[in-house]
Structure formats: structure tokens, C-alpha cells
Structure 1
């Protein structure tokens, strides 16, 4: 397991431990977080897995930001072992990539260069908001990841999460225009898609189109690695516990989940002979596809196959 996967696995473990305490008060939640973060070895130091800072690129910023999903909000927080506020989160992410940002969101809003509109925004751009009517100017910041979404530390009682970007008041690009254009070149068609590097790696390993894996993740969990469905499906790729166990997958670890999904879809494609039937089996189970000799006559499954196919085409 590489350094990034190790960090993601630790974050997933922390998220799983922390989620049951989410309904507790802010003070007790902070205590619980400090405890599990300490157990997992999460500290305020760089988590790049090396004493050398990672190369700053659009995909690198998105990947770095994803590591902190699940860290609780803490006003003034700059240490992920304790909690992060919005600008503490952005400063930490960029600091781990060798770019020093000012401490507050209002100061960060003067960094880099202006981006005219969301239509012109790139993954890794900083998006700023004016939510406090009692105080003029910027008071919130997040990291744009593409597809109308950002990762941010929202407010007390919540955690760093992937969410809709809405309508930012200011957008700034702090990455140099000469940032490595070849970084994650294999996932260029997935630029800005969360976990693009994982989809590309697993797709290459098992012969599955990375765009299809991204589409499945989008349809299943909206790229939420901590998602749990009403029926009990878990993680980024929404494995039922029994399926995850059979595949040896940790559904809350994005790297493990994507790898397992690619391996499973590869097996289903070989078993049924087509991508559509593999997707139907992923949704309804291989038994249902075998029983009906094709896509089962379930509205949910038929809509699922169509939706994933459309999204995969859009990502290609």
C-alpha cells in the first residue's frame, strides 16, 4: 500500500470510529476526536508520507484535501488531530504541497490570481463566500474539486466534507500556471473528479474503464467515502458488508473500495459478457441477472444502468 493509500485508510478508520459520536456536544465530540486521532497517529504535521513536500498540481490538491474528510470543525483549528476551521484546512492542504497561504479566509482571498467565474474554475482553486451579514467581506473558504463541488470545513458541529460549491463570491487560483501538467496524466479525462487517481490505477490494473468506476462512485455515494445507505451498503462504492467481506475489501477505505469495485466489475463483465449486465449485477446481484437472463425488470436497476452509463460517457 502506497503512502496516499495508507493515509486514506487511516482517515477512513478515524471516520468510522468518530461517526457514532456525531450527535454528541461539540466539547465531547472534540474529546472523542482527539482520542481516536491519537490512536490512529494523526497529527498536525504533513501527511504526505515523506519529509519531501508533494508536487503541487490540480490533482495533488484534490487528493490532499480528500485526506481530511471527516476531521471535525474546530474554530481556529489548524491541527487535524484536534480539528480544523475553513482556512486552517486550506492552509494545511496547500502547506503540505509546498504553498504557504495566509491564515485567515479574508487574507487568503487576496492570494494568487482572480478567476472570473465558476465556469472558469479549475480543481484546486480556492472558493470564498460571504455568509456573515454582520461583517463585510469574505468569511468562508473551500477547495473546488470540479463538477460543482468543493471540500470544506463547514461550521461547528460538522466535519470536513464534500459538498455543493453553491455560488462563491470570490474565486482565486493559487497554483502556479506552470504546475506539472503531466501529474496523474493517466486520469486527464477525470480532471477534477474526486479519487481520479484511484479510478485510473484500479481501472488499469483490472481492465475497467476509469470513467466507469468514477460513474459508479458518483451514482452510488456521490463520492462520499463515509456513506452508509438505508439498506446498509457502505463506503465510496457502496458494498454490502457480506460482499465486502467476500472480496476482502474495507468499504470505508477509498483505495480498498475502488480496487474491490474494479476487481468485482471485471469479474462480472467476464461472467456476463457485457458492461451493462455487469452494472446490473453490481446493483441487483449476479443471481438476479442470471435468473432473468439479462437486466432484471427492476425499475431501480434499469435506471441505475442507464444513469451510470450516461455519467461514464460524460467523464470519458
Structure 2
């Protein structure tokens, strides 16, 4: 058998050079699957999603041909945006921030010779970063994996606690803070999650980052951020009410995946994933039944108002990554 070579696409093929996707996690896979015939190794996909684990799922389920696999760039934005009232599909910036980007290396763990494709992928990913950098208001910052992960983890941790428990109990954020039993769930999930993070191989060379996330001060800042939510409701609650899947696989599920790779316990995060999926499944069954005179179960604060402006998690946690 000769050496593996990338398949050459027709010159007139209508392929995408770059795709920037920022939507609900449940919509990403079907969206990219529908565009699969216009994506190849020359395409760079930037995923602006608060969770992690999407790239691995896309490689497994959509882009399984390693020689035609697109390049991936992960993004984390601290810009604060809001919708423009009465103007569909329009957004306005409430507070400027930064757009942190990380180019995912191609073929990690692969055994065949692919140096030319790796170089091609790096060059194309860097080209997208440079394109985005040309828009000054985005304030683009390219980061290595460890620094990028350090920016992602606070949101990842908070969502895996607050939104998961909100769906499980059908409650507002503030009810978690004031409910003794909900706080026990919070503490159990948090302790297991931090134990997993402390064993991440990529963090072992930067022990001060491990100390930051495992210190009592970080736990306290998460609690302060939870209290600052006041009457806010998890956006997952609305999705459950509509019978939509929520992205628990990219939050608690990500920690489960990493724990399995490291041989660590993950019972609380695994249970959290199953509880959230059970709530979604139950709601979907309710909506499908559509019995006359039967009101679907809606006592889980689906429509409770009184939401407050959401504070900035980055401001609350003060990550202090300068010089890291």
C-alpha cells in the first residue's frame, strides 16, 4: 500500500474557506453535517461555544476522514452583547472585552506521516486569526492551550454547577444559593470537578493554575457569582420547556470524558448528565402527548420573570492571567 495522500477536490468545487459558528450546542452538529459537502481540509471552523468537547464529537461523527478533516479554532469571548429591540438578528455591544482563540493541532495522537498537512492546517488557522485580528473592536488574542483552558474553565465550572442543578430542581439561581440541600449538590459536584481538573496533564507544568482553581478563594468567588445572579433563571430552563436538548455533554460531560481518560471518579458529573437528559426526555414526552384539556407540567419556573442583568464572570473571578 502506498503512502496516504489527501484527496484533491475539483478546482471549481464550492468549498468554504472559513466558518464561524456561534449557536446552541444542539444545533452545531446538524448545521455542520448539512454543510459537510462544502467542507474539506482547507476549511477552518471557529467554534464560539462556552463548552468543550465539541471538536472531539465533530471528528467522531462528522469529519471522520483524517485527510479531509477541517481545521478547528476554539474561541472564548468576554464581550458583553445584547439583542437590538425590534430589529431581528441584530446585536449591540454592552461592554467591550476580548476574543481569545486557540488553534487545535491536527492529527494529535496519529501515527502516519502528515507533516505537510499539519503545516497547512496551522497556516490556515493562523490566517483566520489574522483576519479576525484586523477588526480592532474584537480585540483578538491568540493563546496556547493552557492559557486558553484557564480562561474557559471558570465558565465551564459554573455552568456545570448552576445550570445543571437549576434544571434538575426546576429553580432559579438564587434558590440554589439559599437551599441547603441544593448547596450540598453544588458542593459535591464542585469537589469532584476540581479533583478532576487538578489532574489535567496540561496543568501539571503550571501548578499555580491548579492552586488557583482548587483554593478556597475560587470556591468563594463562584458562590459570590451565584448570589449575584439574584432572580436570573438558567437559559437551559427555557430550552427544556421547549423540549430542546441542552449542552450538558459539553460541560459536565466534558469533565466525565476527561475523568475517564485519567481513570478518575466521575459519579456526580455522570449523574448530573443523566438527570438533565431525563428532564429533557420527560418534557419531550409531555409535549408529544398533547392531550386535550391536559396542561403540561410547568411548575419549574419556566416562565418566572424578574430577571436581572447578568454580571460578568470574568470580572467576578479576576483570573489574573498576565504573565502566565
Q: TM-score range by the shorter chain?
A: under 0.3
* Structure 1 length-normalised TM: 0.26
Higher gyration radius (CA): 2
Structure 2-normalised TM-score? 0.26
